[in-house]
Amino acid sequence: MAREYVLQPYRDSVKLQIDYEAELNEAQLTAVTALPGPALVLAGAGSGKTRTLTYRVAYLLEQGVPADRILLLTFTNKAAKEMMGRVTDLIGHDMSDLWGGTFHSIGHRVLRRHAEELGFDRSFTIQDREDTKGLVNACIAEAEIDVKATRFPKPEVVADMGSLALNKQMTLREVIEERFPWFEHLSSQIENVVQRYAERKRLQGLMDFDDLLVLWLKLLKEHESVRELYQKRFQFVLVDEYQDTNQLQAELIDLLGERYKNVMVVGDDSQSIYSWRGANYENIIEFPERYPGAEVYKIETNYRSTPEILNLANAAIAANTRQFAKELSASRGPGEKPVLAVCSAANEQAAFVAQRALELREEGVELNDMAVLYRSHFHALELQLEFTRRNIPFSITSGIRFFEQAHIKDVTSYLKWIANPLDEQAFKRLVLMLPGVGGKTAFKLWSQFFGAHKDGTPLAETLQQCAAVPKKAKVPWAQFSATVSQLEAEPVAGDAGQMIELIVEAGYSDYVEANYDKAPQRLDDIEQLGVFARQYETLETFLAELALLTNVEAEQDRGEDDDEKMRLSTIHQAKGLEFKVVFVVMLCDGMFPSNRSLDSTEGEEEERRLFYVAITRAKDELYISYPMIRTVAGRGSDDMIQQPSRFLSELPDELIDEWKLSSFDPYRQDPF
């Protein structure tokens, strides 16, 4: 039997250009200079994850590994460019041979080379989201589905279903059951449309964003020669933000690293917060089992936050049972204890944040260095109003302020039109939601309504005189008229909170589920809008407040981009960012953690990780707060006492400075 004799490449002794010991801490150095083999690098918040990964690439290059034998996978183009640029600066030569980029960009690169193996021409076109929407819509029409009669989901919602199924490696029916249960009765029709969509793409030589990964994986699985080519090419596979990978991405990594097993993944299991978009927590937790013999490196020195903030973060995540044991330690000196502010209600919480932000501004902290973080978008409702009143400029990370969201504008259009029947724009927005009503028909209906309207005549009665209602809209028009009749009648009329509740009950919830993504979150927004509206005695007062708010928002949005603004953001959208001062609000059970998350241990633990992410965004000062009283939705309901978040009860008292708020009393004797 022939003996295998391995020829080792000859090279001179390695002369390192970089003084790794001087530029890295001990834990970073250990990971950067690790021997070949599978490795999991657990890099805690603010510990220099990017620095570690960058120096690892540089180290491999200095060890003689050719650049084209290294694959660096990231989640954003920005991260890829940043790392490649840093490596270039460290090494001092061009890095164009190194395969670095997002999963999708690398998938695109591979598919351009091997499209023929999958039956595609190399000149295939990549569809954007708008193109996808149009093609899915064509497939719905081809399947002869009466979208209005069946309340069939909008094309973009169908596309999201298909995308989630692909990325989670689940069946479409499983995704519908798990995420879109209100469409379960339409599962067969949705499957039909998604199948037609896939066939049309193939026939037209099209790929969408998901195909760049799905077809890349298919190529590797079904074509041995291609698989071996890339397994041999990529001697080292490096992955950033591994805790955010989905099932499909994990399979790609496993296949590409199968030959050499030199797979180094970098991430933080404590910052895994994206299960709702397909990320699989099991990927990082089970990495040592999937790669037997894998080394686990922990980088726990934090360069961002004070010891006091990190002590709180460590305590916050300690209750999670499924995690890698680690503890962040600070490189910085001591600072202020995190503050817990107990507020009477949401408006007092908003007043506290606004006042404290202005005080800090006077102390020299710029608004750009401050952020308010929250679990859900509606948690910032009172904050946006309070900041507007006090003329505190702010920006919303999502880019859309609460009252400018489509579903909020839909609902407020009902209120605006009931309050002012001559509001043409509000009327048209309402009728355009009906089947068979387009721009021209909406104008005809408005003309007929305007001509027939008389002061004092019930609006529902006037609606019945409109003759331009299309056949498809006859039944929905009758339902619309009935809803308007209820909104005009006592005791609902003039009570904005009750009106909003009735609008949802009368069928708008069905409209949201059929027409918008993230339907449950949007319905939560509307419920909280109703709660917010209950504090106003009249409909007119509520609408006036909204008008003031949206007008100021529009003025602010016309300002210069470099204007100083305070950041308002969901915690999900703030991941990866840092601020000198952070406020975390609405820490009430049922709000943070959210009610929906409490159905499972996994859901609660992800919410706790979300809390951990929020805390670790703060560099110098951290303020957490909750309102004790919450106005609840429902006719005749009273305010309810809220329980503080269970996450707060898990924190040792000695780690927090509790502030009890009180209103200013000019007649109170000064105790000093």
Q: Which residue out of 52, 249, 271, 528 is catalytically annotated?
A: 271
Residue 200 in tokens: 């049309």
Q: Which residue out of 30, 33, 50, 479 is catalytically annotated?
A: 50
Instruction: Reply yes or no on whether 653 is catalytic.
Output: no
Instruction: Reply yes or no on whether 240 is catalytic.
Output: yes
Strands 125-126 and 99-102: unpaired
Q: At what angle do helices 496-503 and 474-488 cross, to 10 degrees?
A: 160
- End-to-end, the C-alpha distance of the chain in Å comes to 95
Instruction: Reply yes or no on whether 282 is catalytic.
Output: no
Phi-psi region of 39 (alpha: psi -120 to 50; beta: other; left: phi over 0): beta
CA angle at 126 for the pair 120 and 130, rounded to the nearest 5°: 135
Residue 667 in tokens: 């007649």
Q: Which residue out of 160, 240, 308, 501 is catalytically annotated?
A: 240
Total number of residues shown for the chain: 672
Determine the 3-state secondary structure of 619 from DSSP: strand
CA angle at 518 for the pair 557 and 474, rounded to the nearest 5°: 95
Rounded Cα distance between 429 and 192, Å, is: 32
Asked if 287 and 265 touch (Cβ cutoff 8 Å), the reply is yes
Instruction: Reply yes or no on whether 218 is catalytic.
Output: no
Rounded Cα distance between 86 and 79, Å, is: 11
Q: Which residue out of 49, 168, 201, 326 is catalytically annotated?
A: 49
Instruction: Reply yes or no on whether 490 is catalytic.
Output: no
Instruction: Reply yes or no on whether 50 is catalytic.
Output: yes
Q: Which residue out of 304, 429, 534, 617 is catalytically annotated?
A: 617
Whole-number Cα distances in Å, 173 to 170, 190, 445, 647: 8, 9, 40, 35
Nearest C-alpha neighbor of 459 from the set 429, 481, 432, 443: 481
Asked if 618 and 582 touch (Cβ cutoff 8 Å), the reply is yes
Q: Count the Cβ atoms, other than its own, within 10 Å of residue 136.
A: 24
- DSSP string for residues in 48-94: -HHHHHHHHHHHHHHTT--GGGEEEEESSHHHHHHHHHHHHHHH-S-
Q: Which residue out of 208, 210, 211, 241 is catalytically annotated?
A: 241
Instruction: Please give the positions annotated as active site.
Output: 49-50, 240-241, 271, 617
